[in-house]
Structure 1
Amino acid sequence: MKRFEAEVLALGEALRARGEKLVAAESCTGGLFAAACTSVAGSSDWFERGFVTYSNEAKNECLGVPATLIDLHGAVSEPVVRAMASGALRASYAQWAVAVTGIAGPGGAVPGKPVGTVWLAIAHRDEVLLAERLQLDGDRTAVREQTVQRALTQLRAATAAA
């Protein structure tokens, strides 16, 4: 987790200064984002909890993502990642949420959603501030690590702007 340490420390400082906490809702990263955050001492001051909602059922049961939304748009979609971020906030005591869902590969691609397709969302309190589609290159590990890096970068930018 050394790779993410500088970004995590900076994010932690920003959240600590605001007196706010972060929750993560992860699918394709499988807890890698939460592991990066909790790899630094003192992260319990600002990292509230993480949800690894790898299955569609977990997205529904843990985060309240409607099954009909997943059926209509697919798990890797803007509406679902927005619902994941909002649901994570409702299911926690955090003020900030990050959510990721995607296709890390090597399988899982569907028409219009090749391997490396990832949706990322950032929410603050009751508002989703960002939902972006990423198209990442590399193997499964590279896609997951690039997703965590982008999430950390976007969170730092969002906390600075808020």
Structure 2
Amino acid sequence: MLRITENDGKDLREFHKVCPQAKEIGFGRLFRSPSLFEDVIKSILLCNCTWGRTLKMAEALCELQFDITQNNLGRRGVKRKLMFPKEREDGSVVKMLGNFPNAREIGDLDESYFMKRMSPLLGYRAKHIYKMAKDIHNSGTLSIVMRELEEASEKRLDGNVGILRKQSRKIESIATV
């Protein structure tokens, strides 16, 4: 999802005036996730690994989300049916992926199921991701901290990342990764 503030848009237009070649190739547009939760989880996935590994972990979470929504994974994580891989009319097989899961979808899963399925893929990150999702899903407090953090990130900080760092340290799952 593309999310640019008015100030970002103004800065981008000014930059494109100075460097028209950048405008021609579409340089300078920023992509962010639809939620701060997704941004934080993707940042956790980037820790201590290659880009390829990060993509595989994100794909695994999307597969989990597909299972959650299409296969009726219940609170215990028991599958009723498996929907992928799916065969096309031409005989080729396509792997179905879901969207990136939100905190509710992960938080609703049984911890032992999530850890058994995701630990081999996410490593040490699995427990932090599950804890954050569960905390956000079950507690209004962490949701408020996440909202405050998102609001702070949208304000112009003029290079002062200390405010964001201080607020993000309030969230145990971020502070310990």
Q: Say which structure, 1 or 2, has more relative contact order (CA 8 Å, 6+ apart).
A: 1
- Based on CA coordinates, which of the two structures has the bigger radius of gyration? 2
- What is the TM-score normalised by the length of structure 1? 0.33
Greater share of helix residues, 1 or 2?
A: 2
Greater share of strand residues, 1 or 2?
A: 1
